[in-house]
Structures are given as structure tokens and as C-alpha cells.
Chains A and B, each alone.
Chain A
């Protein structure tokens, strides 16, 4: 990642430390940079620790896990990190995310979808790494960059594409759009346009899980919630408020920061006093982890631990995934501010290419296996477009539906009848 004027650090330098707990004063050196911008002058450092979740009772240690996985990989080849089935499932999911988003871009420029569309290219390892470990009853909350989270959670590509086209067969009947993907069936709780506003909703879902277990006595309820959001959101008040509440009540939630270093045109370093977001976890009493978000295996290992913690009732975790978006903030973003060298650096670490290489080298899959998956996914995406194209747009009668769960909320009209009984309501032509 590039500092203005400084050289690219590739990859992030690891400063080995003798102690397990990071000492903020020895590890973070103030380097004098020639850059004049306002922002943190610290270099980002990772603290190496042997095991991911060393904990002391009062303050959780912060760890970086990048090297754990490396160590594991170096050991006996029989000690594989995932099975062939899991590997293929993850690969398929990541490839679907990429193919889908690429198709979105095409469709947008062809005038099939409008508005603000935020693509996920480059970040697939985070979505697949985490969400593929979830059960159907677990919940996912995202931001406006939510297409791939919805797909990973199991929402059919057809439903997402239709929603983007604004058709009534979309997962939200065409009423939500790109930034509001919801699925009650798959427990995707949105899709939020304002950053930070989804995090309390995720906290509420986690609260419900705990409530079900402790108040409603559903002893087997161990549902967890994942809240995905970006580096920009990590400076927002709602984030901190929720870190506090989640840790306070030991809610089964994992806060996943997809740190792609840019909030539209605002570099993370220019916006954040201490850019190491994982450190904010221990400040609130939960483990804070930093992981290489371009490596799906590393993400998956961290995710497993964090989800396991949450399921066992041990409370929340903050995971910072260092990742990158290959495209602009949205399809309307000219993406002029980012250094091409930075983009090239991350393009070389494309998560899908990396994982493909791993699968082949560790003999988990052959080229043919993977090609078959790619072909299948390409067809799925084509089919999704066809389906969306052919689907009808919402009719006028849909306009006033779903404003209220109980439509008596529209009130009583002058004639004494509830307004929702007016036939103009079912036609969508009533004046509200």
C-alpha cells in the first residue's frame, strides 16, 4: 500500500517481537516521511505471534495470523487446510463473485442497471473465506458493496441480477436495488447505503441469538452474525458504539473490516489517526486480528476461530482483512486518485489466481476441475442475465405494498374505511 511519496511496502513488513502482546511504543516507529499529508506517520506493522488467539483475561492480545498459515503450510503435506470438496466450493464461490461483478459492469454500461453500483472485484477472499463457513441460520449484514456477500450466503444469482435490473423477480421485488440486498430465507439482513448503519442491525441480530438462547431457552441456538464493512466505517461512531455493546454482552458477532485502503477517494491513512484497525478490538475488550485478505486460506482460518468463539458464547471478534478493490468505488468513480503501482501490486495478488495456484499445486484439484467450475459459473451468470432481462418490471400495484407490514398504518379515510381497502391502493394509484 502506498504512502504518498514513499515506496510501496510489499508485502507488509513483519516485525518479529519477543513478547506476545504488542507494545505500542516499541513496535510502531515514527518514520519521518517526506510526505506532507495529514495522516498517520506510523508504518503499519504486524505483530507476529505463535498462535492466533492468545488471550489474557482482561485485555485480549492482538495478533496477526498471516504467518500462522504459512507455518502450517510448510509442515507435512498431509496436514491440508481444507478438503477437495471445500476447496472446490470456495473456488466456485470466489469465481462466481468475480464473474457476477464483471457482468454487472457490462450490464451497467449497457443501460440495464442504474444508480450507484459498487463492485467487489478483488475482495472475494473475504466473502468466500468467511461466509462459506456459515450455516443457513447465521446472518450476514453488509454495506452497499453487498452483491457478493448475498451470493456467498446462497441468494441465487438470478435473484440478485433481477434486483439489479429492478425487476419484480428480484430478491427485494425490485424495491431495494444494488445497495439493499435482503433475503429472509438466507438471512441476509442488508444491504445498507449509509455506512455504519448496518452494524447496529447486525448487533441486534446477534442480540436475538443470545436472547433466544437465554430468555426463550432455545438451548441449541448458536447462530452468529457477520457484519462486513470498510475502513471508512471504522471511523464512524456507530462502529465504536457497537464494539462496546457487543463486547459488553458477549454477543455472537464478528466485525469484519474489509480494509481496501480507500473510502471513495479518501485514503485510509489520511482519515485515520491510527490506521491499524485491529487494535480497536482490544480497546473494547475483544480480540483484534489482522489478516491478509487476499489469501482465502488465511481468511478462512481466522474466520473459523472467530466463528467458533462466537458459537461457544465467548463473544465478539474484530477482524481486519487487508484487501483491495480492483475497480473504482462505484461504476461512476473514475478512480483517478489511486497509484497505478499500488493497483498493480494488488493485482498480482489476485485472490482467485492465488487460490487456483494453491489448489493445483497441492493436488487438491486439476486444471480440468477448475475449468469445469468456471464454465458452469459462466453459464449461471449468463442465465441470470437472461432471467433478469425477461422478467417483468414491477407493476403499479406494487408501489404501495410493503410500506407497512400492517397496511392499516395508512390510516382511516374520510369515508370511515381503512385506506388500504381502497381499490386504488391495490392499483398503486392512491395518493398517500
Chain B
């Protein structure tokens, strides 16, 4: 199955050897099977079914087969996985590392830079073992100078390397905003297409366990307006590895949002190589009554709420949007057309968050299909408090999700 994905991947992903001539926009070649043709999907879903009988998450796209077990509701508890199935079990941070390592092995231009990524192995151990293997220049321990080393990664990318820049915590990337907004996002355009910036900017973000306001930020809302960048959020070991690989192979600058509380999620992932699609959303649980759109950690709160909802007789459709910028309007649209009700559950702040943009996008594109106004559950517009009780009330909790669905489906 992975080989099928690979072939599709080869057809759809414009690898560095086939540089895309943006000036000509020549998409008519049959090779570019970029359209969502049903036949491809069938192949993929069937293939997926063979592979992931025991897996809890979907291979991206419109797979028809799935396992209804919600993934573990508490991030630290291991996901249900069947050891007898092919594949290997690992934790999410290991999946990220696997993706990193495979890409570094495949292409000598791929390098990592960031604080403590080398000898320390990364603050969440994502790059553990890579510096001894690849050397101190390829896995570069930088001084604490986010703006400068992000810019350095961008300059290196312009000259042919493919750096992965780590923000030790996503919040630290606020210091690199100059470089991310001006250079990362804009240079391809202002240079008239002469230089590309194939960087991956990644790091842990989101609200953790009493990490305090500054270490609990959600930068996706700040970065989403920057033209020229893509943003993805991983939520399972399977999609973490797939998205990491896709982001590294992409010629666009990609910001990969990981979540501090999800690094120890356990799952069995395929042994074969696979690369996911950066622009696609993931169907977590098909349903009929309501579309719940979510990403990152809130996916688990939603699935926990889904259990309760199923017991109460509701049939929610849960989609992990994965691609925060751009939105996968096809998957989302198909769902809206089916259920006519939308609930967005996110960890972003209320004001100007991903949910706000998503609400606008759905209203604009699928107005006619909605039976009720879109409901968006976001974190409170407050700096995340330290106290555990207060922190719990800033983010969306499963009972709120259940209540919102009940309200929406009245």
C-alpha cells in the first residue's frame, strides 16, 4: 500500500528533480494527477484498508474504512494498537525522528538547525541520535538567536540546502517573526520566482500542563496571514511522520506545528515508506449528524466527546483538518454538504484564530448547505494561567463539545 501511495506521491508531489515551472503553470500533463479523481481514492482507500485494519487513524483522504475506537483521550495514554499487525509501534516524537532521519538519509542537503537539537537531541528528543550520526554541521546547535538562525536557514535554503529549523518552543519563533514573515513568506515572490525557500519550521506549541502563559502559545493564528507559507499540524504518530516527510520534500516553506502534550502518543505505523499530502484533511470518524472540525490536541478532546455523543445517539463526523493553511475545502465541503451542521473545536484563541478563518471560509463557500450557524469553540482570549484549574478552563473540554453538539443538533 505504501508503494501505491508512493506512486501517487510521485505523481502528485513535484519532487525537487522535476522543478515546477511556475511561470508556465503547465498542469496539463497527465503525470500531474493532482485532481481528486475517484479512481485514485478507491485505490488508496482499499490499500489503506488492507494496511491499517488495526490502526486508529486514517491515511489521509476519503477512506471509507476506519476503526471506530477513538484514539486515547488522555494524550499520555497509549493508543490502542494491535501488535500482531505488520508495522512497528512507536511514540509520536520517535515517528517525527524517523521521518527526519529517512529524509536526511535520502537527501544530503537536508539539515537541522536549532537550539539543543544536536548534542542534547532536541528538547523533546525529536532529533536524538542524529548529531552523532550526521555530524555537528548537519545537525547544528545554534546559539540562542532565533531571528538570526531562522534567517540563516532561509539564506541556506536559497542557496540549495533544505534546512529544518526548530523552535525549541513554538512561542520562541515570535522572535523570528521578521524572518518568517518577510523572508520566508515573501522572498520567492519578490525575487520573481528566482529563489525558493524549502524550509521546514517546526516545534512544540500549544497549551501544556501548567507551563505558564509564554510557553503555552498557539502561533498558528499569528502566522496564518503570511502569504507564501503553508502550515500543518500533526496529531498522531502516523500523520506526524508523513507530514514531516512531506514538509521536507515540499519546495514551499512549511510550518509544522507539533503539540507539547502529544509527543508520547503511541501507535503502530507502517514499515514501508509513506508520505502524506500537506494540503489534505484527515477523516477521523465519518458520521451523519454534524461535522466537527479540529486539529492537533483538540482532536482527542473531540474523540472523547464523540464517545459520549455516540452513547447519546448522535453520529458526529470528525475531521482533523491537519492543513491549517490552506484549508482542504474539498474534504470539509463534502462533509458540510452531508451533515449541514458545523462545529469547530480548536485550541487557538477566539480572536483571529484558525477557527475564525475557517468559519469565514465555510460561510463563504458553503453558505447554502448550512442549516445552522457555525459554532466555533476556541480557547479563551486570556494568557494561559499557571494554575491548573484556571488552565483547564481556558481550553475547550469534552463536556463543552458535547453540549455544543447537542445545541447544534436540536
Which residues of A does B touch, CB under 8 Å?
139, 141, 170-177, 180, 182-184, 189-194, 197, 199-211, 214-216, 237-238, 241-242, 244-245, 248-249, 401-421, 425-426
**Bound CA–CA A238/B143 (angstroms):** 12
Chain A positions within 8 Å of B192 at CB level: 170-176, 182, 402
The interface residues of chain A lying within 8 Å CB-to-CB of B197 are 405
Whole-angstrom distance between the Cβ of A281 and the nearest chain B Cβ = 17
CB closest chain-A residue, reference B333 = A414
Contacts of A180 in B (CB 8 A): 190-191
Distance from A26 Cβ to chain B, minimum over Cβ atoms (Å): 33
Across the interface, A214 reaches (CB within 8 A) one of B20, B137, B150, B190, namely: B137
From the candidates B20, B27, B111, B330, name the one contacting A414 in the complex (CB within 8 A): B330
Contact A197/B183 with A176-B190, A414-B329 known, Cβ cut-off 8 Å = yes
A418 closest partner in B (C-beta) = B34
Most chain A C-beta atoms within 10 Å of own C-beta, residue among B149, B189, B251, B330: B189
Nearest B residue to A171 via CB reads B192
In angstroms, Cα B158 to Cα A358, docked, is 40
Decide if B373 is an interface residue (CB 8 Å cutoff). no
| Given known contacts A241-B145, A244-B143, A404 and B194 CB-to-CB distance under 8 angstroms | no
Give the CA-CA distance A342 to B138 in the complex, in Å: 50
Q: Is the CB of B108 within 8 A of A216?
A: yes
A404, B196: Cα distance in complex, Å: 8
* Main SS at interface, chain B: loop
Residues of B close to A206: CB separation below 8 A: 155
Contact of B36 among A203, A207, A416 (CB under 8 A): A416
A204:B151 contact, CB within 8 angstroms: yes
List 19 additional A-B contacts (Cβ < 8 Å) besides A175-B190, A201-B151. Answer: A172-B192, A182-B191, A199-B151, A201-B158, A206-B155, A207-B155, A208-B156, A208-B159, A215-B137, A245-B143, A401-B23, A405-B22, A405-B188, A407-B20, A408-B279, A414-B329, A417-B36, A418-B35, A420-B27
B280, A426: Cβ atoms closer than 8 Å: no
Which single residue of chain A is at the shortest CB-CB distance from B178?
A: A197
- Chain B positions within 8 Å of A204 at CB level: 151-159
B39 at the interface (CB under 8 A from A): no
Residue in B closest to A244 when the chains form the complex, CB atoms: B143
Checking B20, B188, B325, B330 against A416 with a beta-carbon cut-off of 8 angstroms, the contacting residue is: B330
Most buried by A among B189, B191, B229, B325: B191
Q: A410 to nearest B CB, angstroms? A: 6
Chain B: residues with CB nearer than 8 A to chain A?
12, 14, 20, 22-23, 25, 27, 34-36, 108-109, 111, 135, 137-138, 142-143, 145, 147-161, 178-179, 182-183, 187-198, 227-230, 250-252, 278-280, 323, 325-331, 333, 365-366
Is A189 a contact partner of B155 (Cβ separation < 8 A)? Answer: yes
Per CB-CB distance, the 5 closest pairs between chain A and chain B, nearest first, are: A204-B155, A200-B151, A411-B326, A416-B36, A241-B148
A173–B193 touching, CB < 8 Å: yes
Chain B contacts of A237 at CB under 8 A?
A: 147-148
Complex CA–CA separation, A208 to B135 (angstroms): 15
Chain A residue with Cβ nearest B161: A208
B223 → A minimal CB distance (Å): 14
| Chain B residues whose CB sits within 8 angstroms of the CB of A216 once the complex forms | 108-109
Using A406-B250, A407-B20 as known contacts, say yes or no to A211 and B156 having CB atoms under 8 A apart: yes
B22, A402: Cβ atoms under 8 Å? yes
> Chain A residues near B34 (CB, 8 Å)?
408, 417-418, 421
CB-nearest residue of chain A to B189: A402
Nearest A residue to B109 via CB reads A216
A403 to B228, CA, bound (A): 5
In the complex, chain A residues whose CB is within 8 Å of the CB of B152 = 200-201, 203-204, 207, 242, 245
Complex alpha-carbon distance, A404 and B328, angstroms: 17
Tell me which of B12, B198, B251, B327 contacts A411 (CB under 8 A). B327
Would you call B195 and A189 a contact (CB within 8 A)? yes
The CA-CA distance from A420 to B21 in the complex, in Å, is: 13
| Cβ-defined contact, A405 with B143, below 8 A | no
Q: Are A245 and B195 in contact (CB under 8 A)?
A: no
Cα distance, A129 to B14, chains bound together (Å): 43
Q: Which residues of B contact A172 (CB under 8 A)?
A: 190-192, 194
How far apart are A383's CB and chain B's nearest CB, in angstroms?
Answer: 22
Q: Chain A's nearest CB lies how many Å from the CB of B10?
A: 14
- Supply 21 A–B pairs (Cβ within 8 Å), ascending by A: A182-B194, A193-B182, A199-B148, A200-B147, A200-B149, A201-B158, A203-B151, A203-B152, A204-B155, A210-B137, A211-B161, A216-B109, A238-B148, A241-B147, A244-B145, A402-B23, A403-B228, A405-B193, A408-B279, A412-B329, A418-B34
A208 adjacent to B329 (CB under 8 Å)? no
Give the shortest distance, in Å, between A130 (CB) and chain B (any CB).
19
On whether the beta carbons of A421 and B155 are closer than 8 Å, the reply is no
Would you give the shortest CB distance from B304 to chain A, in whole angstroms?
A: 29
